């Protein structure tokens, strides 16, 4: 089968920003007087979920929904500032692999993150040139499958593939009616996939002969 575009998840697929995110969250927690600190491992347990679900899991017992969403705004601002300055850990051979893929495919990002997070990733690592567009939970406030559908419609994609590392990514691809490529080096196990990556650069071997 030939494809015209590749849609990437962000966390666990293109990079790992857990340590940077933890640093940002701890700044806010300290400023707000909370006697609790989190680690990168704590952040990893939440990555891949929509931001409202993360807030429920992390603070649902101590805050009302309204308080949690207000707190999310504070966390998001600090998180994006941190990411723009320090970035995260890109997976090996990321830029060179994207550069090669871009010669054959239109490249996009769909993530469950807040607004500004994808932009901060692209800015910190100077990767904007590789991606034609992106969309996130912060744009749609919808499940990832619906965000994928909206991006596919907006950019008139004919035969995209979704590349991600969690069961939620797998389900979102199924629900959007597109093939799923599993980034096995990422954060989670999945129940099924059409293609599998042991490392990011495997994309070259899998997809460079499948472009339309």
50-92 pLDDT tens trace: 767 777 776 666 667 777 777 778 888 999 999 999 999 999 9
147-193 pLDDT tens trace: 999 999 999 999 999 999 999 999 999 999 999 999 999 999 999 99
Residues forming a β-bridge with 135:
110
Ranges of each domain in the chain: 5-15+90-207, 18-86
* Shared fold status for 5-15+90-207 and 18-86: no
Which residue, chain included where needed, has tokens 């590349």? Answer: 163
d(CA 141, CA 92): 31
Q: Does 5-15+90-207 carry CATH code 3.40.50.1000?
A: yes
Where are any strands of DSSP class E within 69-144?
89-90, 106-111, 133-136
d(CA 137, CA 54): 12
Closest CA to 165 of 141, 138, 199, 133: 199
95-134 pLDDT tens trace: 999 999 999 999 999 999 989 999 999 999 999 999 999 9
Alpha helices per DSSP H over 87-156: 94-101, 117-125, 137-140, 144-154
d(CA 193, CA 167): 10
Closest CA to 112 of 66, 154, 55: 55
**CATH, range 18-86:** 1.10.150
User: 154 in helix, strand or coil?
Assistant: helix
pLDDT of amino acid 59? 65
């Amino acid at each position: 089968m030939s494809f015209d575009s590749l849609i990437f998840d962000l966390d666990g697929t293109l990079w790992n920003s857990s340590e940077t995110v933890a640093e940002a969250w701890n700044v806010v927690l300290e400023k707000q007087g909370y006697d609790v600190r989190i680690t990168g491992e704590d952040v990893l347990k939440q990555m891949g979920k929509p931001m409202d679900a993360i807030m429920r899991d992390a603070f649902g017992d101590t805050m009302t929904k309204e308080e949690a969403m207000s707190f999310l705004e504070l966390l998001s601002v600090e998180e994006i500032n941190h990411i723009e300055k320090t970035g995260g850990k890109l997976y090996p051979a990321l830029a060179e692999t994207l550069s090669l893929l871009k010669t054959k495919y239109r490249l996009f990002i769909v993530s469950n993150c807040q607004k500004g997070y994808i932009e901060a990733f692209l800015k910190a690592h100077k990767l904007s040139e590789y991606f034609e567009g992106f969309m996130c939970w912060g744009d749609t406030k919808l499940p990832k499958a619906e965000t994928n559908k909206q991006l596919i419609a907006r950019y008139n994609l004919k035969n995209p593939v979704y590349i991600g590392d969690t069961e939620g990514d797998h389900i979102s691809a199924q629900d959007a009616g597109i093939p799923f490529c599993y980034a096995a080096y990422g954060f989670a196990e999945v129940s099924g996939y059409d293609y599998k990556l042991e490392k990011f650069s495997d994309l070259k071997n899998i997809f460079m002969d499948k472009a339309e």
